[in-house]
Amino acid sequence: MNDGHAAVCWAYGYPHSGMQLVSYEPERAEEVFKTTREQAEAKGGLTFDSRIAWQNGSV
């Protein structure tokens, strides 16, 4: 982000369709991202994996 922060974005599928974007200090953003990804993977709820599907800077 322009203010030196990083952002973590959560996109929710059905039935809670929507998106949440939160600004964090860069180190905290990475920690939050990793933690929430691991939690989603453990629950089997991750349907889109940006590590694989990222193309040309957009998803």
Domain residue ranges in the chain: 6-48
Q: What is the pLDDT of residue 48?
A: 62
Cα angle: 27, vertex 21, 45; to 5 degrees: 90
Q: Please indicate whether residue 54 or residue 10 has the higher confidence score (pLDDT).
A: 10
Is the pLDDT assigned to residue 1 strictly greater than 70? no
Are residues 40 and 12 in contact, defined by beta-carbon separation less than 8 angstroms? no
Q: Is the dihedral of CA 38, 43, 51, 13 positive or negative?
A: negative
Structure confidence by residue, pLDDT tens digits, 2-48:
777 888 887 776 677 778 888 888 888 889 888 888 887 788 766 66
Q: Name residue 55's beta-bridge partners.
A: 58
Asked whether the predicted pLDDT for residue 59 surpasses 50, the reply is no
37 contacts 46 by C-beta, under 8 angstroms: yes
